[in-house]
Amino acid sequence: MIDNAFRALVPRFAGPLLGLYARWSWTPDHVTVLGFVLALFAATAVATGHPWAAVILWWVSRLADGTDGVYARASGQESDFGAYLDIVLDMAAYGAMVLGFAIAWPGLQAQWALMLFFYVLCIASALALGNLESQRALPPRDDRGLRLGAGLAEGGETGIAYTVFLLLPGLLPVTTWLWVGVLATTVVARTLLARRLLAPPEAGPEVGPAAEGVGNPRQDGKQSPEV
């Protein structure tokens, strides 16, 4: 939900970082992979009990994830494979963090399992809705290479949830269930949006020979004459 605002701000301030990528002769895919590797380090920090390191590594990884597309557009290196790689490694990063949490707090297995379950539904519903919106030529909401349906829980909200988990561990029995509820609400709300946007129009009253009684028995019971 907050991702679009972030995407609008990033190009204004990302110039020095994009220049650094260019000086290192990196491609946008290199930046995407860097973001994923940093997320793996963040998940490892979670699992080994280093919450502040995990928070810092996670947000630096999301900075890389948020600038790979900007760099691709600015350098003329946009590609369909880059869009594919970005979403696959995003979901791998989110899942790796949940595995780290499950190792660090094994007493909350139900919540961690439900998070992974709803992540599958969230990305499946986002991809399905985005694809069908594109087929119907509905206007896009952002400039991402791969179109995703709108939703309550996106990347920014996920990062905030992870930060709350790490910095307020005493509240985990409550905050984890709240996040599961947000994910479930996202799936339901997106499904309702899809029903509104994609449902076929309701059929109006039938018009044509059948509606006008042509070729049908007359109401007085006498057969209409053949023509």
| Residue-by-residue pLDDT tens, the chain, 227 positions | 565 666 666 667 788 888 999 999 999 999 999 999 999 999 999 999 999 999 999 999 999 998 998 899 889 999 999 999 999 999 999 999 999 999 999 999 999 999 999 999 999 998 888 888 777 777 666 555 566 656 677 778 899 999 999 999 999 999 999 999 999 999 998 899 888 888 776 655 555 555 444 445 444 544 444 43
Give the whole-angstrom CA distance, residue 18 versus residue 72: 9
Domains located in the chain, CATH noted: 3-198 (1.20.120.1760)
Q: 43-56: buried (b, 16+ CB within 10 Å) or exposed (e) per residue? A: bbbbbeebbebbbe
